[in-house]
Amino acid sequence: MASPPTNLHFVLFPWPAQGHLIPMVDIARMLAQRRVTVTIITTPVNTNRIKPVIDRATEANLKIQVLDIQLPFAKAGLPEGCESFDMIPSVAYVANMFLAMKLLEEPAEEMVKALCPRPSCIISDGGFPWTSDVAKRLDIPRIVFYGPGCFASLCLNVVNNTNVVDEIDSDLEYFALPGLPDRIEVTKPQALSWGKGNMKETKETFERTEEAEKAAFGIVVNSLNELEPKYVEEFAKATGKKVWCIGPVSLCNKRFEDIAERGNKAANHELDCLKWLDSREPRSVVYVCFGSLSSASADQAIELALGLESSYKPFIWFVRRTSDEFERWISEERYEERIKDRGLMVRGWAPQILILSHQAIGGFVTHCGWNSTLEAVCAGIPMVTWPHFADQFLNERLIIDVLKIGVKVGAEVPIMYRGKDKLDMMVKREAIKTAVEGLMNDEDEAHTRRKRAQELGEMAKRAMDEGGSSHLNMTLMIEAITEEVTKKTKPITDIV
């Protein structure tokens, strides 16, 4: 296909959370590699997080710039410098962060107006519904980006547009979501863990998001057609929009530095884990990581520690957040000394793609965030699923029921974002041990799961290669915007 014209200019608005920012930066680079000019508008803290990757892109003559937009901390009631959801001190500030996002509309519009060349398209996270109004006022087509894949998005569409949840009284009863290609069963809290939420601010944002979607030019998804084909098709039908699956976008990272610094720069001690992995047998190590937002009580962290220890499987555990109580337990119980021959705990940012792609890794204990799910798929690694909140319970159903590359740990009750788990909701050490052993053993079922995961990994790579489905979808999305821009700039006599 012919290359797109060089005067296209895409403006990207990533939601200020690592799981949304990281893939949006990958999309920016993918667009720039197609000779499109790209402007990312985000806050200074997030700019600083992505700076190394963007600097390397500009050094490679890709046309990407990042513009800082200041958050109105005082007006929104946020602590100074709190610019990302992983920086929120407690759940009490979630509403304030949503308010801050809402207050960005006016300054963002002024920024977009001043851009040169004139923007051809806005790609904005679904969490910024006001970009729909900005796009309309400035007569620019807007494409929506949602963090999750088509499966979770379609499930959410069913929950919001049917009365299925209203008919369920129990919070513990599993029920089937109607109208889906597969039988997918969830509980009421799991179905409602993502979407409107319980706060006035989140409900307002979500309702505006639904309205803004109706006016969108299309939807771009970090997924591939072959991974969830029936769900891509049904999601497009349900929304009435063109859906372009252009992922897994993480595979656009080829250089070691880009992979190691994807989302944040890992400290030297965080990269030392690669040397530790080098000393392990192929496919023998379990990688444990729960993303940038999940948190756990000290009691739950202790159960996980004991469950991993009793599985007798080598493991590497990235502890993103910790507590004085948990650290005291580790010290008093001499836990790290006890596990030193086969376990490694790392406190900090995980260079996740580097770890998952290491030959020593054989399984992944994950919170089922969509980025982590896709990265495991790309690496051909089966998963122990431990969802916490939002779309994660739906992603678990995809992993277990549709892709069949996972083992459930038994987490049933959503833990609200930055909330704490209760004792009666905890996943016990015995369940953790059983799930890890089930994933890593030599039984036929485990072999089948591993083979399936490896096949999906190869499929994902093919989709991103030239001629693959995702590569083609990126071309088609750019061509659709080119056509739209050409239509708007044609003289009236030509149109007639």
Q: What is the CATH number of the domain that holds 279?
A: 3.40.50.2000
Q: What is the pLDDT of residues 265-280, one digit of tens each?
A: 555 566 788 999 999 9
For the chain, percent of residues with pLDDT exceeding 70? 92
- In a domain, residue 259? The reply is no
**Regarding predicted confidence, which is higher, 193 or 423?**
193
Query: 149 and 114 in one domain?
Result: yes
Same domain as 89, residue 24: yes
| 203 and 71 co-located in one domain | yes
Torsion of CA 151, 227, 247, 273, to 10 degrees: 100
Percent of the chain residues topping a pLDDT of 90: 75
Q: What is the mean pLDDT of residues 441-459?
A: 97
Weakest-pLDDT range from 52-66, 145-159, 270-284, 374-388: 270-284
Q: At what angle do helices 229-239 and 150-161 cross, to 10 degrees?
A: 40
Judge whether 262 lies within some domain.
no
Q: Which residues share a beta bridge with 64?
A: 38
Tally of CB atoms within 10 A around 80:
8
Q: Using 50, 70 and 90 to split pLDDT, how confident is the model at 424?
A: low
Q: Which two tokens stand for residue 80?
A: 């100074």
Query: If phi over 0 gives left and psi between -120 and 50 gives alpha, with beta otherwise, what is residue 247?
Result: beta
3 within domain boundaries: no
> Residue 419 pLDDT > 60, yes or no?
no
- Across residues 428-450, what is the average pLDDT? 96
pLDDT above 70: residue 412: yes
pLDDT tier, 423 (very low <50, low <70, confident <90, very high otherwise): low
Query: Amino acid identity of 429?
Result: R
Q: Residue 289: left (phi > 0), alpha (psi -120 to 50), or beta?
A: beta
Q: What backbone torsions phi and psi does residue 40 show, to the nearest 5 degrees?
A: -105, 130
Q: Looking at the structure, do residues 100 and 145 belong to the same domain, yes or no?
A: yes
pLDDT tier for residue 411 given thresholds of 50, 70 and 90: very high
pLDDT at 25 over 60: yes
Assess whether 47 and 139 both reside in one domain: yes
Based on the domain organization, do 285 and 358 belong to the same domain? yes
Placement of tokens 């260079």 in the chain:
351
pLDDT at 268: 52
- The band of 496, judged by pLDDT with boundaries at 50, 70 and 90, is very low
What pLDDT score does 263 carry?
Answer: 59
Taking the C-alpha atoms of residue 342 and residue 344, their distance in angstroms, rounded to an integer, is 7
* pLDDT of 201: 63
* Mean pLDDT across 296-319: 94
Strand partners, 48: none
3-class DSSP assignment, residue 363? strand
| 439 is a domain residue | yes
What is the average pLDDT across 65-92?
92
| Cis, peptide link before residue 89, omega less than 30° from 0 | no
pLDDT value at residue 487: 85
Same domain, 222 and 296: no
Q: Residue 285: name the closest of 434, 440, 399 by CA.
A: 440
Q: Three-state SS for 403?
A: coil
- What are the tens digits of pLDDT across the range 151-195? 999 999 999 888 888 889 899 999 999 999 999 999 999 998 876
Q: Is residue 255 part of a domain?
A: no
Q: Is the pLDDT of residue 57 over 90?
A: yes
Judged by average pLDDT, the poorest of 74-88, 358-372, 393-407 is: 74-88
Inside any domain, residue 224 = yes
Q: What is the pLDDT of residue 322?
A: 78
Do 371 and 473 lie in a common domain? no
Residue 256 in domain: no
Three-state DSSP at 344 gives strand
pLDDT band at 222 (very low <50, low <70, confident <90, very high): very high
Q: Is residue 252 part of a domain?
A: no
Distance CA 222, CA 235 (A): 14
* Residues 276, 470: Cα–Cα separation, whole Å: 35
The residue that leads in pLDDT, 32 or 3, is 32
For the chain, how many structural domains are there in total? 2
Q: Are residues 334 and 453 in the same domain?
A: yes
Does the pLDDT at position 28 exceed 90? yes
Please say if the pLDDT value at position 2 is more than 60.
no
Do 41 and 181 share a domain, yes or no?
Answer: yes
State whether 77 and 209 are in the same domain. Answer: yes
Q: Residue 167 sits in which domain range?
A: 9-246+465-495
pLDDT value, residue 209 = 85
Are 348 and 376 found together in one domain? yes
Place of tokens 């398209």: 121
442 vs 37: CA distance, rounded Å: 50
> What are the angstrom distances between the C-alpha of 100 and each of 12, 84, 198?
18, 11, 18
Beta-bridge partners for 284: none
| Torsion angle defined by CA atoms of residues 156, 205, 16 and 117, in that order, rounded to the nearest 10 degrees | 110
What pLDDT band is residue 215 in, cutting at 50, 70 and 90?
A: very high
